[in-house]
Amino acid sequence: MKLLAAFSLLVSSKLTLATFPSCRCVYGDKCWPSATQFTQLESKLSQPLIYPRPSGAVCYPTSNPSGNCSGLVDTWTDGNWRADQPGAMEAPNFETYAFKNGTIDACYANVTLGVPCGQGSVPVIGVDARGVADIQAAVQFAVKYDVRLVVKNTGHDYLGRSAARGAFVVWTHNMKNITYNASFVPQGAPSHETYNAITLGAGVQWHEAYAAANAQGRIMVGGASAGGSVGAAGGWVLGGGHSALSPTYGLGVDNVVEMTVVLSTGEYLTVNSHQHPDLFWAMRGGGGGTYGILTSVTYRTYPSLPVQAALFSANATNPTVMNTLMTELMRIHPALSDAGWSGYGSASNSSLFFAYMKPNGTVAQLNESFHSFVVFAQNLTSQGLSIVTKPVYEDTWYEFYSTYLSGGVENGGNTMLGSRLIPRETLEKNSKELTNILLPINLSWNFVAGGKVSKIDPNSAGVNPAWRKAIIHLTFGIAWPFGASSQEIDGMIDILKAKEKALRDLTPESGAYFNEASLYEENWQYTFFGTHYPALKAIKDKYDPHGLFVVAEGVGSEDWDSDLNCRKWW
């Protein structure tokens, strides 16, 4: 009877199947805009339309008559080169597309695999945005023709949010304006509310932002990556934004003074604590590609400081010895956090490394904090452990960053991450269990919470409240060779899921960092956003009435199918 009543209601309301939301238009559909319609869009833009190709396409004669990709080998793992290509992702597995039957559409740089170069999940056409008007024109076009839209800055994304098969892309990478203002007043704020601040366009990367701040004798809370290639005013801050300076000054979102954004309605808003405070709250940690297209961010800056650092590395042939050392290191992190240290580390069954720093620190403070751990490690040398310790002092944080935090390789391999925010209590009471879960696989950790991060009101921004109880953000991952089958990849994903479950069981009330996490988290709404999710969803619905901005496991994505192209109505 209830079903009949519901059907009668549909009929009496004159509703038909056409009333229900349809699927977004993607390339190849009959509804895809015509060449003429794209030409009309192009006439409104400052730049020609772009036609992105996968990063390996240069190796194929159809895209390069010489078919010579020797130069590509030299740049393949360069994050800044990848950011400069509208179709390249940091992890090229997100350039591929897996069909339900297990076949994979991809463009591998290794031509000896004998696989044709396909478009995969790389958007087929888009806008090279250089200003707000370009973005507004792109958004209005996407709404008018109901096309699948994605937003891409640098493509440094472990959830594949910068790509979608057959989509239309807004590429913000070339919005490079940087403005420093020692007495910045947010729009709508009283004149006495001033900040020593720097405003970054959406395409500015951290190496550019740090250099600009350093030129003013200032520092700012920002990310660490090879070459500083991660975007400073995009997904990094929209997801929360962690930094080696976070324990001193807070997360990236805690240092945002103002943002500007284009909504799906085409409106251009300036948001801060005085104007549209609900949207300002949501965009500080509620996830990128969700509420609108970010066009600029204004951050607080701080006076430049010297840095005392401790570099430590260890190697062991016996996994049990490394387990013992790692357990002790995890155990002492609460004390290190209280003493003002932060930084990054990595470990496996046979090796361990960390680079920890303390702004305005001294050698005496370094010795006080690390002496007992070094003695602990020295006592294991009789069991085959070898260690190297190195104290480092730099006159400025910028010098420390440039020397120790911006080197290495920025991916270029098929990678998926899992992560967990590890609370103080777990480190104090369950460091052994934590090590047992993690050490059999290669892992990294970001010692970027605690300190100031833990002292800020969890409800002051939309970022996951689990950050406020954490000290460490752990990451672990899987990788596979180019040309691997869907079955092989699924086997690796099962390993990732098992580690995620073990960490959830150990830290059931914690969560994960949305920007460096897995597509396979259970209850992702809570895992990534915690108790803030209902409020974030309401704000999303308010400011994106067209439902234009949809990303994997982003706020509101549960309303869409697995490809994020068709709305669910049941």
Give the pLDDT of residue 371. Answer: 97
Cβ-contact 224, 306 below 8 angstroms: no
Q: DSSP character for 362?
A: -
The CATH number given to 35-171 is 3.30.43.10
Residue of 337, 239, 221 lying closest to 283 (CA atoms): 239
Phi and psi based region of residue 20 (left: phi greater than 0; alpha: psi -120 to 50; beta: remaining):
beta
Enter the pTM of the model: 0.94
Q: What CA–CA distances, in Å, run from 16 to 11, 20, 163, 285, 565?
A: 8, 8, 33, 39, 21
Secondary element (H or E) of residue 21? none
Taking domain 306-395, whether its CATH number is 3.30.70.360 is answered by yes
pLDDT in tens, 289-337: 999 999 999 999 999 999 999 999 999 999 999 999 999 999 999 999 9
Q: How far is CA 459 from CA 158, 293, 470, in A?
A: 26, 24, 15
Q: Of the candidates 242, 56, 36, 260, which has an alpha carbon nearest to the alpha carbon of residue 145?
A: 36
Q: Are 240 and 464 within 8 A, CB to CB?
A: yes
Indicate where the chain has its CATH 3.30.43.10 domain(s).
35-171
**Per-residue pLDDT reduced to its tens digit, 26-68:** 999 999 999 999 999 999 999 999 999 999 998 887 555 555 6
Within the chain, all domains assigned CATH 3.30.70.360 are found at 306-395
Q: Is 297 helix (H, G, I), strand (E, B) or coil?
A: strand
pLDDT of residue 2: 44
Beta carbons of 393 and 309 less than 8 angstroms apart: yes
Which pLDDT value is given to residue 438? 87
Q: Which residues of 74-109 are buried (b: 16+ CB within 10 A; e: fewer)?
A: ebbbbbbbbbebbbbbbbbbbbbbbeeeeebbbbbb
Given this model, what pLDDT does residue 62 score?
58
Sequence letter at residue 289: G
Which segments in the chain show pLDDT lower than 70?
1-21, 62-68, 570
Give the list of residues 6+ apart from residue 251 with CB closer than 8 angstroms, or none: 221, 240, 241, 242, 243, 285, 453, 456, 461, 463, 467
Residues near 505 by Cβ (< 8 Å), separated by ≥ 6? none
CATH dotted code for 178-303: 3.30.465.10
Q: How far apart are CA 423 and CA 439, in angstroms?
A: 18
Where in the chain are all domains bearing CATH 3.30.465.10? 178-303
What's residue 271's pLDDT?
98
Q: Write the secondary structure of 228-244 as one string of H (helix), E (strand) and C (coil).
A: HCCECCCHHHHCCCCCC
